[in-house]
Amino acid sequence: MKRTMRVLLAVFGGLLGLCVMASAISALSTRSLWAQYAVTGAAPAPPERLTALDKARLAETLQLKTVFGDQIWPGWGRADIPVILWTAGAEFLTGLPEAPAGPAASGGETWQPVPGDDFLGQPYFRRLSDNPQNFAVRAGDSWAASMATKWEADRFLMTTFRNGLPGPLKAIFPYRALILPSEAQIIGVLHEMFHAHQASSDPARLQAAEAAHRLGERYWAADSAMRDAWAQEMDLLIRALQAKSEGEARALAGQFLAQRSQRRQAANLPTDLSDYERQLEWEEGLAKYVEISAWQRASRTAGYQPAPALADDPYFKGYRTFEQRFGQELSAMRRSARQESETRFYYTGMAQAMLLDRLAPGWQARGFDDGTWLEALLMKQIE
């Protein structure tokens, strides 16, 4: 008994020492990280230009779109879509030959050329802004994809997480675990580039999808009674994605659609709230499908070479982590069945699109048809 106590005390003492040491190291690392990302104190001054890594990541985004874009969505790969990268009070516009005229749509200054710098041999433009966003935005006569730089996204995640921690943990939490892989930002820009494609190809439909967000309060009030049914629906959809054969995938897709219809009927869900689901699956689910498809193709295409400048990016993994990432996405998809978040429809739209790739190659030709929803296209494959 005494020997057991001594062993336990020795183990506890060793663990305590390791914890103290780890806490001290984490605190030192955290202070360094806070300084790098300006997590505490006043907001950093707006940058004057894009960094070399910002440019490398954006060059890779454009390369992915060029190489795989038309395979994922015909016509999108060839579309000229400007990109805005934003951070801490400033936006940077690339992909246009000259600065758009007129005031900044998000509040702030007009676009001005960045002096003494270029992106891929072409000028790019800067403006101060107090309300940038991740979505499709107007840039003169064009629709542009707007997305935070990786630095800004990392800073936002760390600041938000830090603000939610109890005081004693703020100094020792391993914030480096929150830093995103560069692939997440690279394909995130593709997500917004697809929204810009939706906006330029079918502006009325995208506007209708945006208007549907206003129904969210009513939808989530009704959702609490549907969550068990949603969990079953989500399980069937994930199993269909993971099916070994096309026949099994088709059968599970049919069960998913039947469960969806039963859930709506049991909840007496009004048509406009059913359309709320469909609209968001079309708007956000398709954009999610595009980003995941690009990462998947880059990871599985023999001989694909990322942009050379990414060799200097410590957070770029060469797309090797796709399978792990996709598994995490499916886990998050399951959890979303019981969460009050529109993220649920990012996943269900993505999953239906991926099923259509398997069951109905070329389905994208009808993807922008008026009144055609993903679930309707899937239904045609099981009738």
pLDDT tens figures, 196-218: 999 999 999 999 999 999 999 99
The pLDDT of residue 344 is above 50:
yes
How many angstroms separate the CA atoms of 235 and 63, rounded?
Answer: 35
The number of folded domains in the chain is 2
Same structural domain, 102 and 129: yes
Nearest C-alpha neighbor of 178 from the set 160, 196, 205:
160
Q: Per-residue confidence at 330, pLDDT binned at 50, 70, 90?
A: very high
Domain termination site, one of 200, 225, 258? 200
Residue 14 resides in a domain: no
Check residue 234 and give its pLDDT.
Answer: 97
Check residue 252 and give its pLDDT.
Answer: 98
3-state secondary structure of 2: helix
Same structural domain, 159 and 241: no
Same structural domain, 259 and 367: yes
Residue type, 183: E
Residue 356 resides in a domain: yes
Domain termination site, one of 200, 220, 240? 200
In angstroms and rounded to an integer, the radius of gyration of the C-alpha atoms of the chain is 24
Nearest C-alpha neighbor of 115 from the set 99, 95, 134, 133:
99
Range(s) of the domain holding residue 96: 52-200
Sign of the Cα pseudo-torsion (239, 241, 247, 252, in order): positive
pLDDT digits (tens, 9 = 90+) for 182-201: 999 999 999 999 999 999 99
pLDDT digits (tens, 9 = 90+) for 263-291: 999 999 999 999 999 999 999 999 999 99
How many angstroms separate the CA atoms of 51 and 68, rounded?
Answer: 26
pTM: 0.89
**Cα 162-163-168 angle, rounded to 5 deg:** 65
In contact, 127 and 104? CB cutoff 8 Å: yes
Same structural domain, 230 and 346: yes
Same structural domain, 194 and 208: no
Residue 367 resides in a domain: yes
Query: How, if at all, do strands 142-148 and 83-87 pair?
Result: parallel
Same structural domain, 121 and 240: no
Domain termination site, one of 152, 179, 200? 200
